[in-house]
Amino acid sequence: MVFKPHPNNTAIVITDPQNDFMCPGGKGYHLTKDNIEQNNTIQNLEILMSTALNKGYQLFISPHYLYPHDYGWQFTGNEQNMLLGLRMYQKANDYTPPSPGADFVHSLKPYIFDRRTVVSTPHKIASPQTNDLVYQLRQHRIEKTILAGVLSNICVESHMRHLIESGFETAVVYDATATLSERDFQAAVTNYKAFASATWTTQEAISNL
């Protein structure tokens, strides 16, 4: 079956478009810099998001925040240990602005703050199991999703798997993602091709919108 998006039933979902992993000065940028530059991730996200909005598609943003009380978790996995150890995605509470690292990438803000864009509650580990993304998608009558963001093999892949198992036909724009190494990136692409209904470059994605 060919994946055919339409503005009436398809959303662009972006995971963690925030400074800590994506921009110089971010607490995890030293880990992702090479893969971001290799994939041209930021520019590809700009192209994908701007083209989608111009063609009438709605954007959904699934951010990642960590609050002071999250440092009291009784157990954590390796990914959580990394984020907590680097003190990434810091936010004091729901009522205060995020830290600079948890703030959205500046060049993506025009699309994130577009009046049509939906910003979900934050996910806590890697998938939308812990936020309201799926509920928001259903409330907007979305049936298909096109996914991009960071990290390729963690949050993007976890979102892909969860959305597919929640009944959403899903495509992934792999060069609008990035992660910690080329090996991790290629592992993610292998899994995108195994599960997603389409695995596209940014140029392929915008030509199909």
pTM of the model: 0.97
Structural domain includes residue 101:
yes
CATH number at residue 188: 3.40.50.850
Structural domain includes residue 5:
no
Structural domain includes residue 4:
no
Structural domain includes residue 1:
no
pLDDT tens readout for residues 128-178: 999 999 999 999 999 999 999 999 999 999 999 999 999 999 999 999 999
Check residue 45 and report its DSSP letter.
H
Find the helix or strand (DSSP H, E) in which 152 lies: none
In terms of phi and psi (left: phi > 0; alpha: psi -120 to 50; beta: otherwise), the region of 181 is beta
On the question of a cis peptide bond just before residue 151, with omega within 30 degrees of 0, the verdict is yes
First to last CA, the chain: 17
What confidence score (pLDDT) does residue 1 get?
78
Euclidean distance between CA atoms 149 and 2, whole angstroms: 23
In whole angstroms, how far apart are CA 124 and each of 133, 191, 200?
Answer: 12, 22, 27
Structural domain includes residue 195:
yes
In whole angstroms, how far apart are CA 63 and each of 55, 118, 198?
Answer: 24, 11, 23
Structural domain includes residue 57:
yes
Domain that holds residue 178: 10-208
pLDDT tens readout for residues 103-137: 999 999 999 999 999 999 999 999 999 999 999 99
Structural domain includes residue 2:
no
If one counts the domains in the chain, the total is: 1
- Do 176 and 189 contact (CB within 8 A), yes or no? no
